[in-house]
Amino acid sequence: MKTNLYGAKCALRLPQLMTRLGVPRESIPMRDGQSVRCPWHREHRNGDLNPSFNVYRNGTRAKCFTCDFNIDGPEFVQRWLSLNKRDAFKKFTDIAGAVPTSGSATISLPALQKPQELSMPRLWPFTEENMKQLSAVRRISEAAIAWACSQQVLFFASVCGQPSWILTDSERKIAEARRLNGEYYPSLPPLSQRKAHTVYGSSKAWPLGTSLLRRYPQIRKVMLVEGGPDYLAAFHFLHHFGVRDVVPVAMLGRGAGKSGGIDPGALCLLAGKRVRIYPHADADGGGIRSAMAWHAQLRVHGCDVDYFTFHGLLRADGAPAKDLNDMTSLHQNTHFNFSNLLP
Give the 3-state secondary structure of residue 248.
strand
| DSSP-H helix ranges across 12-48 | 14-20
Q: Which residue number, 33 or 115, has a Cβ lying nearer to Zn ion?
A: 33
Give the nearest distance from C-beta 69 to Zn ion in angstroms.
7
**Closest distance of CB 239 from Zn ion, Å:** 36
**Min. distance of Cβ 255 from Zn ion in angstroms?**
14
CB of 196 or CB of 233, closer to Zn ion: 196
Nearer to Zn ion, 82 or 210 (CB): 82
66 or 78: CB nearest Zn ion: 66
Give the integer Cα–Cα distance in Å for 108 and 63: 19
In angstroms, the Cα distances linking 341 to 261, 291, 337 are: 25, 17, 8
**Is residue 67 involved in binding Zn ion (CB under 5 A)?**
yes
Region 165-204 residues binding Zn ion, contact defined as CB under 5 A: none
Complex with Zn ion: residue 45 or 215, whichever CB lies closer: 45
Which residues within the stretch 11-40 sit at the binding site for Zn ion (CB under 5 A)?
38, 40
Nearer to Zn ion, 66 or 325 (CB): 66
Three-state SS at 255? helix
CB nearer Zn ion, residue 43 or residue 171: 43
- What radius of gyration do the chain's Cα atoms show? 20
Binding to Zn ion (CB under 5 A) within 247-306 occurs at: none
Count of residues that bind Zn ion according to CB under 5 A:
5
* Alpha helix segments (H runs only) across the chain: 2-11, 14-20, 73-81, 85-96, 104-108, 115-118, 128-138, 142-150, 212-215, 228-240, 255-258, 264-270, 286-300
Least Å distance between CB 73 and Zn ion?
17
109 near Zn ion, judged by CB under 5 A: no
x/- mask, Zn ion, residues 304-333, rule CB under 5 A, reads ------------------------------
- Min separation Cβ 40 and Zn ion, Å: 5
Please give the Cα distance from 191 to 40 (Å, whole number): 12
For residue 5, the number of C-alpha atoms closer than 13 Å in the C-beta half-sphere is: 21
CB of 325 to Zn ion, least distance (A): 22
Do 248 and 231 meet the contact criterion of CB atoms below 8 Å apart? yes
CB of 286 vs Zn ion, minimal distance in Å: 15
Spatial contact of 275 and 222, defined as CB atoms under 8 Å apart: yes
Residues with Cβ within 8 Å of residue 288, at least 6 apart in sequence: 279, 282
Selected binder of Zn ion within 54, 60, 66, 259 (CB under 5 A): 66
Note the residues at the interface with Zn ion (CB under 5 A).
Answer: 38, 40, 64, 66-67
